[in-house]
Amino acid sequence: MSEDAQRTERIQQAIDIKTKPPGSLGAIEKLALQMAVAQKTDEPVADPARLLLFAGDHGLVEEGVSAWPSEVTAQMVLNFLAGGAAANVFAKSNNIGISVVDAGVMSDLPDHPDLFRANIRKGTRNALKENALTLEEVSAALVFGEELASDEVSVGTKVVALGEMGIGNTSSAALLAHAIEGISLDLLTGPGAGLDGDGVNRKLDILRKTAERRPGKLEPMDALCAFGGLEIACMAGALIGAAQSNAVVLVDGFIATSAALCALRMHPELEGNVVYAHKSKEPGHKAMLEALNASPLLDLELRLGEGSGALLAFPLLRNACAMLNEMATFESAAVSGKQE
């Protein structure tokens, strides 16, 4: 029996003898077991945790796929750095630090101690007309994300949460899931950051034309080249780097899940390290989660991004660990077991 299999059996037995009917804490029991095996310890912990928030722009926005202009990406990065966004508020209440990453923002950003720069290119190319990224650019983004997350784990971080900001990135995420999994664009295309019905129809038409430029199923690297974006490729790299370092990776919503799809199709052995925070209100997220056989922790009708759903789900990880590490057993509490 492998070390992981032995640990799984041992931790499950430890959970089952807690002072409760077996299985009565449902998904929390499964989460505790998953975290123990992922961290390769009998006493998993959720703290310290850190949100890696990747920002990037998309050339496809030129075609009208978003209700917002590209400059909002940089403006929101400044908001993150100033502490004014939902992600900042939720991170502060959970005692989680944030690293903001300029994965490929078109505008120039001032230096800041919490800002990291990938320095690959300023935004992707227009994927309707040409590949969004070159193979070298995708590779650089993956390596950057992997090294950033690995460095974070090396200083003691136990949970790496993934979030993003990028006007137009629901289009990129939809195109990636369509290309890699063959999911219909009709299912994957939604309002993003606020398109009305006509806007969604226009977006779907543009995405169909964009997908026709690279028809058929694509491998993750080819899909990232074809459709971007830099923040998604960096997130995929971060998942790989954190998971390979035995950290738990807490994935946010629709766009972050597209990054997880890319990463896990390249490295399926890392699946056990990934926790999906929530099911987004963006309609395509359900189809993407089903393709990954994923069971998200929450369903709060969120559609913000920024890692907001991951931060809201984080206390469940903290409490799952507390249940395993601190809850009494029937024997230690002198509580009678179930009658045969």
**Any idea which residues carry the catalytic annotation?**
306
**Residues β-bridged to residue 159:** 49, 248
Half-sphere exposure of 140 (CA within 13 A, CB side): 15
C-alpha separations of 138 from 120, 135, 218, 228, 230 in Å = 9, 5, 15, 8, 7
Query: What is the token pair recorded at 260?
Result: 């997880």
Query: What is the token pair recorded at 63?
Result: 């075609």
CA 256 – CA 190 distance, rounded (Å): 16
Query: What is the token pair recorded at 317?
Result: 């990880």
CA 324 – CA 213 distance, rounded (Å): 51
| Amino acid at position 90, single letter | F
Half-sphere exposure of 1 (CA within 13 A, CB side): 8
Which residue bears the tokens 């949970």? 159
Query: What is the token pair recorded at 174?
Result: 């939809």
Alpha helices in the chain (DSSP H): 3-16, 26-39, 71-82, 86-93, 135-154, 169-181, 185-188, 197-212, 220-227, 230-244, 254-266, 284-291, 308-326
CA 153 – CA 81 distance, rounded (Å): 22
**Residues β-bridged to residue 98:** 51
CA 325 – CA 47 distance, rounded (Å): 13
For residue 200, the Cα-to-chain-centroid distance in whole angstroms is: 24
C-alpha dihedral (312, 316, 317, 321), degrees to nearest 10: 150
End-to-end CA distance of the chain: 31
